[in-house]
Structure 1
Amino acid sequence: MLSTGALRAHLLAARLAGTVATSREESLRSYRLFAARDPRVLLGLDPEWDWGEGDLLRLMADRCGVSGDPAHVSGPDVIDPELTVAALEAFAGRLRAAVAARSPVLFGTGHPHRLLGFYAALAEAMSAAGCVVLTPAQGTSVDMATRFGVRPHSIDYVGGVALVREPGVRPPGSATGAHTHSPLPVRIALGALAEAGGPLPELVVGDHGWVCGAGQLGVEAIGLADTDDPALFVGEAEGRVSVVVPVDDAVRADYYRPLIRYVLGRARLPDGQEWL
């Protein structure tokens, strides 16, 4: 099992934490848009509290480790690796509890090019441990907003993890998909489960709209978030998201493999070979 010290060293070396590639300008822009209730950064969350830019900056300094100085407006942003390690511990604890209860689980990502392997390894391990990994609404069409306007996408699953892809771009089951912040896919997936009368997830694991959209509907959700994703941290502060791991969500996919080993070890789950 990967030690805490080795994990911390890897986070810094791979720039998953410490100085990250996400810029301060990107982060501050997201905080401004969130304060204005722009749906592009709300990710399906309907905040209960009033969040001004200063409130968000203080929250992100506390939960993520970014600079709390409003005069710091440019350059790379920062994630405190100690906060990442602590959140990964809590994240693993929620997986361990779900396995103990044999809870149905739903995995979904808006970052399939980077994070698919991370979630797929967890899905594989939880399935092997007796949890039902749900795959609802396979092939269902979702109208997604893109830079070219609204275009149809479809929900697909790779390794038990939901993603969306433009029809015809890749065959179903291929390990690619669209980058999206939208909560529409998780809403459709949960709606399909409710309509079918089957088990609903007791835990949703993912990022972006998958986490915020599920949390807003009252389903326990945990996930990963970057410095420019304040919605997940607001959801955590307001009690609708259980655990958020602060981490750069757009580095090379293989850089997340040590995080997989660490989480599986802390959750007392076996390593899967396909995604490691």
Structure 2
Amino acid sequence: MGTAERLRAHLVRAGLAGVVGTAREESLRSYRLFAARDPRVLIGLDPVGAWGEREVLALMADRCGVSADPGTTSGPERIDPERTLAALDACAGLLAEAALHRVPVLLGTGHPHRLLGFYAVLADALSAAGCDVLTPAQGRCVDITTRFGLRTGNLDYVRGVGLVRGATSRRPGCEPGAHTHSPLPVRVALAAAADAGGPLPGLVIGDHGWVCGAGQLGFASVGLADVNDPAPFVGQAEGAVSVVVPVDDGVRSDDYLPLTRYVLNRACLSQ
């Protein structure tokens, strides 16, 4: 069994692709909110096209493999593992290009509990290849509007990966950080890098608001996205986001490490 076949089997076995934990009802709700231009679902993207609910569903069927039938309204979603593998190959191509030219990179996640390890290993490999792993605006306050009201967090970096911590956190560098879809952390980081005279990233790697917020500002961006987050896929369709890997973003953190190894092998960056 080849490398791709082994990873395909892992994707399905771990619930990263194939039948996944995301509910159809949750996906359809997100597609409706995206069509209504709800900022909680746009996560930093300002779409150019007229994306109605049916157009979003058709796109997600094409990019992820979910059912294109609007009459399918319940049950678990499905991600086509072949689409996941193809996107991982494209991601590897971008990382190889970044390493070849030793461009500065910025990494960040809104899912630190699950995805920090995935991005941290990429950060280590890119750093070893000669890329500067940027950490601008460390410690800066970020005010994020949530369904519970305004929440103030602090931008922090763990193993080169940006994340947001609660402002009352007493142990920075130890706690995993907060779950957020907001594009504000990457906007704060990029603004701080620009104000300092650079360097600016040649590639941003992340998810949620990190990938959409950076792509909307014109930075090459790549990352992971679940099927209930249509914004990165719309951003890719419109050319704002470079590559999006469809994958369930809520499984065990260790289950993402085979994806990291696959990408680094494809990019010839294995340490």
3-state SS, counterpart of residue 60 of structure 2: helix
CA distance in 2, matches of 1:238, 1:171: 41
AA aligned to 2:89 is E
CA distance in 2, matches of 1:167, 1:181: 17
Residue correspondence of structure 1 range 1-276 to structure 2 within 5 A: 3-271=3-271
CA distance in 1, matches of 2:47, 2:192: 25
AA aligned to 2:21 is A
CA distance in 1, matches of 2:185, 2:78: 30
CA distance in 2, matches of 1:133, 1:194: 15
Residues 20 and 77, structure 1, Cα contact 8 Å, conserved in 2: yes
AA aligned to 2:243 is V
Residues 142 and 185, structure 1, Cα contact 8 Å, conserved in 2: yes
Deviations 1:188-207 (A, max 9, x none): 00000000002100100000
Over aligned residue pairs, what C-alpha RMSD do you find? 0.9
Q: CA offset at residue 47 of structure 1?
A: 0.2
AA aligned to 1:257 is L
Deviations 1:32-75 (A, max 9, x none): 00000000000100000000000001000000100000100000
CA distance in 2, matches of 1:255, 1:175: 20
CA distance in 2, matches of 1:125, 1:174: 22
Residues 158 and 175, structure 1, Cα contact 8 Å, conserved in 2: no
3-state SS, counterpart of residue 46 of structure 1: coil
CA distance in 1, matches of 2:217, 2:37: 18
Q: CA offset at residue 175 of structure 1?
A: 4.7
AA aligned to 1:180 is T
Q: CA offset at residue 168 of structure 1?
A: 2.8
Residues 165 and 177, structure 2, Cα contact 8 Å, conserved in 1: yes
CA distance in 1, matches of 2:270, 2:223: 20
Q: Which residue in the other structure is 1:274 paired with?
A: none
Deviations 1:205-256 (A, max 9, x none): 0000000000000011001000001000000000010100000011000001
Unaligned runs of 5+ in 2: none
Unaligned runs of 5+ in 1: 272-276
AA aligned to 2:13 is A
Residues 236 and 243, structure 2, Cα contact 8 Å, conserved in 1: yes
CA distance in 1, matches of 2:83, 2:64: 7
Q: CA offset at residue 28 of structure 1?
A: 0.2
3-state SS, counterpart of residue 72 of structure 1: coil
Q: 1:147 to 1:38 in 2, by over 3 A?
A: closer
Q: CA offset at residue 29 of structure 1?
A: 0.3
Normalised to the residue count of structure 1, the TM-score between the two structures is 0.96
Number of residue pairs aligned between Structure 1 and Structure 2: 270
Q: Percent identity?
A: 69
CA distance in 2, matches of 1:156, 1:173: 8
Q: CA offset at residue 170 of structure 1?
A: 4.5
CA distance in 1, matches of 2:250, 2:126: 24
Residues 102 and 131, structure 1, Cα contact 8 Å, conserved in 2: yes
Q: CA offset at residue 270 of structure 1?
A: 2.3
Residues 170 and 176, structure 1, Cα contact 8 Å, conserved in 2: no
| Runs of 4+ more than 6 Å apart | none
AA aligned to 1:141 is C
3-state SS, counterpart of residue 143 of structure 2: strand
CA distance in 1, matches of 2:65, 2:54: 15
Q: CA offset at residue 151 of structure 1?
A: 1.6
AA aligned to 2:265 is G
Q: CA offset at residue 172 of structure 1?
A: 1.8
Q: CA offset at residue 149 of structure 1?
A: 1.3
Residues 181 and 209, structure 1, Cα contact 8 Å, conserved in 2: yes
3-state SS, counterpart of residue 235 of structure 2: helix
3-state SS, counterpart of residue 171 of structure 1: coil
